[in-house]
Structure formats: C-alpha cells, structure tokens
Chain A
Amino acid sequence: MTEPAPSPEAASGPPPSSGAIVTLDHVTKRFPGVVANDRVAFDLFPGEVHVLLGENGAGKSTLVGMLSGLQTPDEGGILIDGREASISSPARALELGIGTVFQHSMLVPSLSVVDNMALGGSWWSRPDRTGIAARMAAVAADIGVRIDPHARVGTLSLGEQQQVEIVRALMRGSRVLILDEATAMLTPKGAEDLGALMRRLTALGIAVVFITHKLNEALAFGHRITVLRLGRKVGEIAPERLEALGPAAATAEIIRLMFGTGDRKAAAEGGARAVRRRVSAPPLLEIEELAVDDMAVPVSGVTLSVAPGEIVGLAGIDGNGQKQFAEALAGQRRLAAGTIRLGGEAVERLDVGGRRARGLSYVTDDRLGEGTVGSFPVSLNLLLKQVGKDPFWRNGFERPEPIAAHAERLVGAYDVRTPGISTPIGKLSGGNIQKALLARELTGDTRAVIFAKPTYGLDVQNIRATRQRIREAADRGLAVILISTDLEEVLELSDRIAVMSRGHVVGMVDNDDAARARVGELMSGVGA
C-alpha cells in the first residue's frame, strides 16, 4: 500500500451495459487531502449480489455514501435505469428505490419494530400499527424472514435488527439494497443467515450491494465482485468468470487485487526487510493459553512467544479478537485464563502500570479515543502512562523542566510536527499523534511492544516512517508483536506471522516466499 496501484484495464470495466439499475460513471470524490474515490465505475444489475471488497480506507464508505445520498460526486455521473440522476439526499435515494442498511443500526432500541417503521408521521396521528404489521408480514414472508412486529428492537439480535432494516427498506419500495459492512458486527451464524437472505432477495430481482472487507464472505455470497484499493477500482470479477475460476483461483486473484502483486513487494522497500538474522535467543515474551471473555469475540487458547529482536506479525481480518488480545496483554482487560511471561517473570496478574514498569508497551490504534487526552498538551500526553514517576514528578509535584525537556527530546527524536509542546495534542494531525504515541511507548525501559494497526488511517509518508520505527525497535532488541489487518505490512515487517481468526490463532508461518499464499489461505479460512 505504499504507492497507488496503476489502474489496470479492469478499472474501465465493462461498457455501460443495458439492464443495469444503477451505474456509477467514473465518479470521483475528494475530501481535504484525500481522493476517496478516483474515477470509479460501477454497475449494479437486478438479481445480483455485487460485492464491494476492499481494506479499510479503500473508499468503500464513500462509494456507499454517494449511492445512498449522503454525499454527491465531485466528478462523474450516476445513471438510474440508464438515465442521468442526482441522488441529493437520503430521502431522494429512497424515492429512487435505493435503500441502505448501515453498519450501525438506525433503529430506536426502546421502540417496537412496528413503531420504528411508523416513525415520522404527523405528531397527533396514531401510528397505523396493524396496517404496518400486515405489510411487514407480507414482505417478510416474501423474503423468508420471521420478525415479531411487536418485539422491542433492543431485545433483537443484531442480525435480526438488520433483517428489520432490510424489510423496512423493501417496504419503502427499494429495488436496490445496500448492505454496508453488514456482517462486521454479526456472529458467523448471523453472517451465514444474511448470506442466505441475500440470495433470496436476488431471487426476487432485487439488486444487492454488499460491502465487506472479508474475502471469504465476498466469495460465498457474491455474484460479482469489485475490488477497491486506495480509492481506485483495481478489478472486477464478473459472474461468469467467478464461476469459471472456482474458489481457490478466485481467492488468489482477489488477494492479488486487494494487496497488490507479490513481485513488487521486495522492490518497494529496497529489500530493507530482506533476511532478518535468525534470532536464537530464548523468547522474551511468552504467552500461553491466553483467554479473554468478551461478548462479541471471545479469545481463547492463544499461545505465542517472541524473542528479543523478533517481530511476530498477527494477521487477520479486523474484528477477529486482535483488539481483545492486545488489551488483555497490555493489562487493560482481565484474562480469563492463561499466563504471560516477560523475561521469565509472570506478569499476568500485574496492572497496566506494573507491566509497563517491567517493559511491556502497547501502542493502541484508537489514538484519540484512548491513546491520548485531546485537550491536554503534547508534553503531558507523552507522559500519560508515567504520571507521578520520577524525575517528572517529585513528591507528587510536577516538575516543569524535566517534563518540558523530555517532551522536547521526544518531539525532536520522533519528528512530531507540533507548534509547541504545550499545544493540545488533539489539534495535531493523525500522523503526528501517532508519532507522539510511538515516542511514548518506545522510550524508556521498553523490552516488548505491541503495535495495534500502527499505520491505520495514516498517509503514505507516515506509514513509511512508522514502519521504520517498528523495524528499529526490533533492531534494538525489543520483542515486537505487530497486529495488522494490512497483509502487505505484516509481510514487509514480520519474521514470523500468526493468523488470527474468530478469537483463535489458526496458524503460524515463517515469513518466507510461500508466506503470502499461506497467510492468505489462513485468513480466508480456505487453508484452515
């Protein structure tokens, strides 16, 4: 992901063919500093599940936004039934027959299903509950779902809530249904049910846009697959081709599209990663049978060891327990079971401060949500995990000089671009906040460090700088765990790669020439 992919022949796609309900004709959408969608062409046919596949930041949400009326393209046009149309608002989208089910539910949890559907009439009218329930039952029967119209939405599972939203969209006459990251919050069973539902919808002639970053779902549910990368369409696999390829070849093809071609990898970073010296030292960080209780993704049976100077990549599709694992390791979450040893000493009973004092650092991916206090100055954010420690505090009192000196040193060493060390850190750019976090976590007596999605949301320059820091950390002899959903990054940096899926480590491979294919298989569940 270090440079934009050239737009290959596939980007121009098939000619705007007759029969498409919706056609995006090379739309471009820019946001300050980013081209979110760059001349993306996209056709949607009745009776088809069209999968929009791509990593985070590939431009999927922007595309959905333009289809659902939240955003309008800067360039290019939208054709509905072959005629130029403008989708200026969500209401307009609905009029045109485009219904959207967003990743975060748009239902009121404390109201019943019918009441949610009734919402929006004139104030003093009675909601027509029986009428709505009857129409709902009809639509639900058509697509083969069962919903209790009088159940409170809050008591329904997320999958059921999605079904409600799908039914609601159909009741409003949608011919096109957009499911935005619809499986992200679902259990595997819920995701399968949704897949089955999509097939029934298409049987009724409805066009479905299914947005996901999960490769296996794309293959399982999609008729047609469009792959986005860094705002560009890098490929489209038509239904005939998809069938002809078969699962294995299709997977390989999609991985190639999503993550770029393998042969450019070595060249991209000038072989800096080349062959890491094999580390023969005994492991510094040993995790055994670690388990975490969690409502969404319980983690169990994770065993992992990292030697000093070694980078172990933790690959996997987002939301497969990586966050829970990282937080448990850092001490933010209780362990349900298992042991963590750092340099031979058991640390699993220590709190965050205790583990940090022994040299275990955690670079969170939620930089503003938990990594920093936005309204506090850079200088204090750099010491957020050392409040009260000598020499910055003595007898509990803040000592401005050491604090300032420490901040100046780190700001200089890590090239944090800030007007001053007393600037509130929330005013800095994402890249500079990340530099400050790296500075905080990598200085001092750090012996082992966990990076969670360290380059997520950064621009190319900062991605490069961050990866360099990770490499240097290992070169200094730190034990590194690199959690990333970006396969390219994992392959570029790691010595060994573990793959995480549904709360388990499903495989561990050495980072050799065969690693890309093996990891891809493990990630997509094909090789498991």
Chain B
Amino acid sequence: MSGTGSETTGMGAAGATLAPGGRGGAWRERGRLVVMTLGPILGALVLSGLLLLVLGVDPLAYYGYVVERGLLSPYGVQATFTRMGPLLLIAAGLIVAFRAGIWNLGGDGQFLLSAVVVAALAPLLAPLMPVWLVLLAALLVGALVGAAWSLLPALLKAYQGVNEIITTLMMTFLGVSFANVLVKLFFRDPTTTVPQTRTLPVADRLPRLFDTTVSSGVLIGLVAIIAVHVVMTRTAFGLKLRIVGANPRAAVHAGLNVPLLTVLTFALSAGLAGLAGAVEILGVQGNVRADWNPAYSLTVIPLVFLARFNGFASIAFVFLFSVLSIGGESAARRTGVPNFFTLVVVAILLVMLGVTEYLDQRRRAAGR
C-alpha cells in the first residue's frame, strides 16, 4: 500500500478529470461534459421525486417550496449564501487532496476541532484587540489546528505508506470526541447550564455583507476555492501535486520530493477544513455546543466528485446543495419532509453520476 490510494480509481480519478491544460479544447467535449453533469442531476431529482410520491408528498410542490425558500425569498437566499462559506472551504480542501491522489476523509475532525479552539479563543481575544485582528488571528489558528490534526496521517502516509483512508477516518472519530472533551472540560462557559463554549458577541463576528444577513464567510470561501482552482490548474506547485496524484513514479523520475509534497497536501487540505470550522464559528454559530457535529465534510465529498474536482463547478454544486438544504430546512416545517431528504438526493445523484460515467466509457470504448 505504498502508492497513493486513488491512482487506480475508476470514477473521477485524479488523472481522469479535466485533462489539465485542455483550454481551448473542443466544444463537443464540453457539450458532453454538460450532458454528463446535467443528466445525473435531472435523473436524481426525478428519482427523489418518485420517493416523495411514495411518501405521499407532491414532489413539484416540494421542489417549488425548496426553490422559493432556498433561492427566491430574501431570507432564504441570504441563508443559502451564508451556508456556502464553510462548505466552499471544505470543498477547496478536498480538491487539493483528491487532485494530489490523497483521500482525506478526516475533514469532519479537522473542522470540528478548529471550530472548538476558535470558539474558545475568540471571546478571550475580543476584549484585547481590535476586531479585525481577532478575526485574523482566529482564522489563522483555525487553519493551523486543522492542519495539525492531519499531521499524523500525513507522516504515516508519506514515510510509512500507511493507508490514509483509515487513519483520517480514525482521526475524525478521535477529533470529534476530543472536541467534546474540550468543550465539556476545558472551554466550558461557566455562566450557562448547557455544556458549550463562551459565545462570541455578534459585534465581534465576521462582518455581514452590506445590508444583508449574509456572512462574509462566503467571500472567504469563494476566494479560497477559486485560489485553489487557480493554484491546482495554473501554477507549478499545483502541477507538482497533480503529477504525484496521477503517477507517483513519474514524480520520482522527475525529481519531485514526493513525501514532502504529500505532507504539504495534507496540511493544505486539512488547513482549509480548519478554516471552514473557524468561519462557521466566527460567521454563523458564535459558539460550540457539546455534541455539535454538522458532518459537512462527508457530505461535501460527493459534491466535489460531482464537480470532477473543478473549483467553479464545485461552487455551482455547493450552491445547489445549499439551496436544497436551506430550502429543505424551511420545507421541513411547512411540508413535513425533513431535510434529510437532501442527503438522499445527493446520494442518488452520485450513483447516477457513476453509472453515467460508466455508460460513457462503454460508449466511447465501443465507438472506437
């Protein structure tokens, strides 16, 4: 198990996605990609709709309500944008890892620990420094905590060849428990009865955009994911990571320091997940309650695969998912369909995508 885990993957393997440097490529190829992306989306919405029918819910009414509440209503669209912030950061981190052939499945632990540390730290710093400095320090600490939580899997992978799927999963379990320990034993707010950290005053949180309720976290997320996209597709560093992901032996042949690049990949990926945790606290939650775990990372993994590791496509999918989940939360109250439904849609979507890719490969193989 010394090679990277994903070089042999069929679906959306690092090398198979968006052939690098393919700009100015054939329009036909683009058209095919659009069909291959929209087809599964439509299929998933239809199949999920059938499930709603079975449950006795009018799918059109449900989808209509979701769109209205997640996209069209002023409150809904603002909530959607706010939700996108941390999700985009997580997606950015996953793109770095997957393109470099690393399965970082530990995003939830990295996210949560960073959130807890930031939630504990920010209220302490707030009285001491100007707001911007507090925010900056908190974001930085969040990223560092996330990165630190990936250090062990990174070193084990880089120097011992230990499968990172298992180690990152374990670090997530460890991290979730550790986060709870921190909240309950060390960072607990003494003034409340429920176990939670001190709450960051609204005035000290990430600024809201203009006159809306949208947290500026979404800007951080957008900047991060676009930066990641540019780094991975347009820079020497990104190319090196992609070489390691696509063919580790070629990386050795070309003189790249594969272990070092592996550790850097982990650090970046986990650092972005940690940043997501910080943004969620500084922009949305303000504190961490014990046993809180939104498990964003596991949910974003399918989205990133759907986007074929493309940053801009990821923005679109994260947006779609956010609409579904914010709209779904409202719809839960109105139509009685809990927002777990969103998970079903994403899962069906991913399976549909897999089947579509398989059929496409078959078709192309037959067309030769």
A and B in contact, CB less than 8 Å: yes
* Interface set of A (CB-CB < 8 Å, partner B): 331-332, 351-353, 356, 364, 366, 369-377, 379-380, 384-385, 387-388, 393, 396-398, 400, 403, 422, 424
On whether the beta carbons of A373 and B236 are closer than 8 Å, the reply is no
- Other than the given A387-B254, A400-B23, 12 more pairs (CB < 8 A) read A353-B255, A356-B255, A373-B246, A376-B19, A377-B20, A377-B22, A387-B240, A388-B237, A388-B240, A393-B236, A397-B235, A398-B235
On whether the beta carbons of B253 and A422 are closer than 8 Å, the reply is no
The 6 closest A-B pairs by CB, nearest first: A352-B255, A388-B236, A375-B15, A370-B253, A353-B255, A370-B249
On whether the beta carbons of A379 and B21 are closer than 8 Å, the reply is yes
**Shortest Cβ distance from B14 into A: residue:** A375
Q: Give bound CA distance, A380 to B240, whole Å.
A: 11
On whether the beta carbons of A384 and B254 are closer than 8 Å, the reply is yes
Q: How far is the CB of B42 from chain A (nearest CB, A)?
A: 29
Listed A/B pairs (27) with beta-carbon separation below 8 Å: A331-B255, A332-B252, A332-B253, A352-B254, A366-B249, A369-B249, A373-B243, A373-B247, A374-B15, A375-B15, A376-B19, A376-B21, A376-B243, A377-B21, A384-B254, A385-B254, A387-B240, A387-B254, A388-B237, A388-B240, A393-B236, A396-B236, A396-B237, A398-B234, A422-B19, A422-B22, A422-B24
- Hey, which chain A residues are within 8 Å of B25, CB to CB? 422
* Interface set of B (CB-CB < 8 Å, partner A): 15-16, 19-25, 234-237, 239-240, 242-243, 246-247, 249-250, 252-257
On whether the beta carbons of A370 and B255 are closer than 8 Å, the reply is no
**Shortest Cβ distance from A331 into B: residue:** B255
Q: Which of A353, A364, A384, A400 contacts B243 (CB 8 A)?
A: A384
Q: Give bound CA distance, A396 to B234, whole Å.
A: 9
Q: Give bound CA distance, A400 to B234, whole Å.
A: 9
- Hey, which chain B residues are within 8 Å of A397, CB to CB? 234-236
- Hey, which chain B residues are within 8 Å of A332, CB to CB? 252-253, 255
On whether the beta carbons of A373 and B250 are closer than 8 Å, the reply is yes
Most buried by B among A353, A370, A393: A370
A376-B19, A422-B21 known; A371+B250 contact, CB < 8 A: yes
Most buried by A among B15, B242, B243, B250: B250
* Chief secondary structure at chain A's binding surface: mixed
Q: How far is the CB of B236 from chain A (nearest CB, A)?
A: 3
**Shortest Cβ distance from B13 into A: residue:** A375
- Hey, which chain B residues are within 8 Å of A403, CB to CB? 21
Q: Which of A371, A375, A398, A400 contacts B16 (CB 8 A)?
A: A375
Most buried by B among A331, A372, A376: A376
**Shortest Cβ distance from B15 into A: residue:** A375
On whether the beta carbons of B16 and A387 are closer than 8 Å, the reply is no
On whether the beta carbons of B24 and A398 are closer than 8 Å, the reply is no
Q: How far is the CB of B35 from chain A (nearest CB, A)?
A: 21
Q: Give bound CA distance, A400 to B20, whole Å.
A: 12
- Hey, which chain B residues are within 8 Å of A375, CB to CB? 15-16, 19, 246
On whether the beta carbons of A371 and B239 are closer than 8 Å, the reply is no
Q: Give bound CA distance, A403 to B21, whole Å.
A: 10
Q: Give bound CA distance, A379 to B20, whole Å.
A: 10
Q: Give bound CA distance, A351 to B252, whole Å.
A: 10
On whether the beta carbons of A380 and B239 are closer than 8 Å, the reply is yes
- Hey, which chain A residues are within 8 Å of B15, CB to CB? 373-376
Most buried by A among B21, B23, B249: B21
Q: Give bound CA distance, A369 to B20, whole Å.
A: 19
Q: Give bound CA distance, A202 to B255, whole Å.
A: 50
- Hey, which chain B residues are within 8 Å of A371, CB to CB? 250, 253
On whether the beta carbons of B250 and A384 are closer than 8 Å, the reply is yes
Q: Give bound CA distance, A369 to B253, whole Å.
A: 10
Q: Give bound CA distance, A379 to B21, whole Å.
A: 8
- Hey, which chain B residues are within 8 Å of A353, CB to CB? 255
On whether the beta carbons of B235 and A393 are closer than 8 Å, the reply is yes
- Hey, which chain B residues are within 8 Å of A374, CB to CB? 15, 246-247
Q: Give bound CA distance, A390 to B247, whole Å.
A: 24
Q: How far is the CB of B204 from chain A (nearest CB, A)?
A: 36
Q: Give bound CA distance, A168 to B23, whole Å.
A: 56
Q: Give bound CA distance, A380 to B235, whole Å.
A: 12
- Hey, which chain A residues are within 8 Å of B249, CB to CB? 366, 369-370
- Hey, which chain A residues are within 8 Å of B243, CB to CB? 373, 376, 384, 387
- Hey, which chain B residues are within 8 Å of A377, CB to CB? 19-22
Q: How far is the CB of A85 from chain B (nearest CB, A)?
A: 34
- Hey, which chain A residues are within 8 Å of B253, CB to CB? 332, 352, 364, 370-371, 384
On whether the beta carbons of B252 and A387 are closer than 8 Å, the reply is no
